[in-house]
A and B are shown apart, each in its own frame.
Chain A
Amino acid sequence: MSYPHRHELETTTVLSRYHGDPEALGLEGWLERGGYATLKKALDMQPDEITEVVKASGLRGRGGAGFPTGLKWTFMPKEPTSERPHYLCCNADESEPGAFKDREIMRWTPHLLIEGCLIAARAIRAEHVYIYVRGEYFPVTRALNGAVTEAYEAGYIGDDILGSGWNCDLTVHIGAGAYIAGEETGLMNSLQGNRAEPWIKPPFPAQAGVFGMPTTVNNVETLASVPMIVENGSEWYRQWGTEKSPGTKLWCCSGHLSRPGNYEIALGVPLRDIVYDVCGGAPNGKRVRAVIPGGSSTAFLTDDELDCETTYEGLMEAGSSLGTASPIVMDESTCLLKAMRRIAHFYAHESCGQCVQCREGTSWITKILRRIEEGDGRMEDIDTLYHLCEQLTGRTICVLADSVVFPLRSSLDKFRDEYEAHIRRDACTAT
């Protein structure tokens, strides 16, 4: 276990402060560390006051899309009725290849997540929170289950929470191995007992979400960031990051790195510093050839492009995306074609099959890449792959199809020589 690492660029460890501290796991240790104090504070606040603080903090969704959290909460109807209760779904279906931050939050500080869920539930007037954890995370689920049981028994969840007269239930629900259940409408369908097939919006979750009721879906890291913001205020949170991307972010660094792992870093530092200074670059003195900065669904950057700012806007300007802040680093020995084929295979495997472009397109991309890899490629395959990129962009219910296009198109643009070398059956350009 290589977690946790500490590094000077970790200007602050507000969110991950107790990662690696086993005593923070249980309720007693959590209370000693100031746990649930913010919940008490939030119980004295009006729901809209909580939303205002979060809105002013500029916190953006940490699940990948970066939508402003406070704004999302304002989409919920003002008052629930007995026929139209509100729900909060915590998206803990972390399944983007490269991402492993939510699991660290849940396994070290499950009470922090519970506290965040309850405060958010109060803000959106939800009567029940569902934490949808991916099925594979058994050890994490065990930690979370223990914390939820303790919190119920101590009166932090349930009826008349801490004597406030406010009721809120919380249920842990596990998935069963479907990447697409991490897409918010797919998650809600899965929670309802259906196949995790995304639906076309509208209806938006805030209008008709899970069980047909107004729902907000927030990522684990987003919800775990809520207590410290409500406790310390929006200006405090804005001391880190930039105007449009405030705060700190948990980075998940993997691939060919000397020190892979999770790091909490204020948004805005150059990506190069994270890859080289924090993670020590590629091991064994090798050069870095390519980096996928935000999880497997984001566009490739070359080593020359790493000076970009790690904010939502900065990475977009660099032609990629912050995504889940999960750089996957590939050194000079990596065959980019093979790596791309492995990424495409993932999306072909995980396509839910509703949209033809995605179901057929992802598997044809994988087949073509495998054909090139095996030495049976033709030069026109490159054009076919570009054509498939066109066909898969913006034509489907959800963005799974687009997710394979970002890495594929960028790898074709930036490493075309490698594709051509394989097609000519020359030696692979990887060293």
Chain B
Amino acid sequence: MKEKDIHPAVASAQPYQLAERDEDSGPLFESEEGRERLRKVLSRYPIKTAALGPLLNYARERHGWVSAGAMEEIAEHLDLTPAYVRSVATFYTMYNLHPTGRHLIQVCTCIACHLNRADDVFERFLEETGTRPGEISEDGRFTVMEVECLGACGFATAVQINDEYFEDVTPEKVGEILEGLD
């Protein structure tokens, strides 16, 4: 979605698409788009610090991950120290602090999925992509990770690939899912 079409009320909650990320990991807020996002997000909260989460999301949305440089830039715009920004960014699991493959594959292995062969699904993704957990595949396409509950317990095993959910996944379906990804 183009920045001008994003309503300020939802500017803090933009889904991201790693596959379409901006490969340029330059400054976030030097472009008109970046400044517009910053203005919109700041307009929604009575204190500046509250924009921290939304702006870390924005860094991930733009670059696919949150670099030290992005954290410093955010810190500067919110009058925070880079150390504080880092302390928040590392608390959560979804601000990727390292680059990932173009398709970030997150397999839920929490209890309900665990009961429905999630461990085998996870193993199969690793085998088929030839990676170890968290690693980027040689062709740069895939990173496979294990995650805690994705909130799709009735449709186990749940797998999230970038911003899409795949449900009722069995080890047998893994090959087909991977074939559908560029």
Contacts and interface: CB of A to CB of B under 8 A. Distances in A.
A, B: real partners: yes
Interface of A: 1-3, 85, 94-100, 103, 133-139, 141-142, 144-145, 148-149, 152-153, 157, 169-179, 190-196, 211, 252-256, 260-262, 292, 296, 326, 328, 330, 334, 339, 342-343, 346, 349-350, 352
A145 B13 contact: yes
A95 B163 contact: no
Contact of B112 (A153, A174, A254): A254
A99 B151 contact: yes
Contact of B9 (A85, A134, A172, A191): A172
Contacts of B28: none
A138 B94 contact: no
Contact of A134 (B45, B112, B151, B156): B151
Interface stretch (B84-92, B133-141, B169-177): B84-92
B154 A139 contact: no
A329 B12 CA distance: 37
A143 B152 CA distance: 17
Contacts of A260: 153-156
Given A99-B153, A100-B152, A339-B114, 4 more contacts: A141-B13, A148-B7, A171-B10, A352-B91
A174 B155 contact: no
B151 A145 contact: no
Contacts of B150: 136
Contacts of B112: 97-98, 254-255, 328
Contact of B160 (A99, A136, A190, A326): A136
A192 B50 contact: yes
- A-B pairs with the 4 shortest C-beta distances? A193-B49, A176-B92, A193-B52, A177-B93
Contacts of B154: 2-3, 100, 252-254, 260-262
Interface in B10-57: 10, 12-16, 44-54, 56-57
A349 B148 contact: yes
27 contacts: A96-B149, A97-B111, A98-B149, A133-B13, A134-B151, A135-B92, A136-B160, A139-B164, A139-B165, A144-B10, A152-B7, A174-B13, A176-B53, A176-B92, A192-B47, A192-B50, A195-B88, A196-B91, A196-B92, A261-B154, A262-B154, A326-B153, A328-B111, A328-B153, A330-B115, A334-B115, A350-B148
Contacts of B16: 138
A4 B161 CA distance: 24
Contact of B148 (A142, A262, A346): A346
A172 B111 CA distance: 29
Of B12, B50, B109, B164, chain A has the most CB atoms within 10 Å of the CB of: B50
B91 A148 contact: no
Of B10, B148, B168, chain A has the most CB atoms within 10 Å of the CB of: B10
A300 B45 CA distance: 42
Contacts of A170: 9
A252 B7 contact: no
Nearest to B156: A254
A292 B110 CA distance: 14
Contacts of B148: 95, 97, 177, 179, 346, 349-350
A172 B10 contact: yes
A339 B111 contact: yes
B156 A195 contact: no
A211 B46 contact: yes
B90 to A, nearest CB: 9
Contacts of B46: 85, 211
Contact of B12 (A97, A171, A255): A171
Contacts of A328: 111-112, 115, 153
Nearest to B10: A145
A116 B91 CA distance: 32
B130 to A, nearest CB: 26
A228 B13 CA distance: 28
A145 B16 CA distance: 13
B49 A192 contact: yes
Given A148-B9, A334-B115, A193 B155 contact: no
B3 interface: no
B95 interface: yes
A339 B87 contact: no
B76 interface: no
Contacts of B160: 136, 138
B75 to A, nearest CB: 11
Given A2-B155, A136-B94, A195-B91, A342 B110 contact: yes
A177 B92 contact: yes
A92 to B, nearest CB: 10
A176 B93 contact: yes
A376 to B, nearest CB: 20
B91 A343 contact: no
A42 B154 CA distance: 36
Contacts of B110: 97, 296, 342, 346
A133 B153 CA distance: 17
A148 B10 CA distance: 8
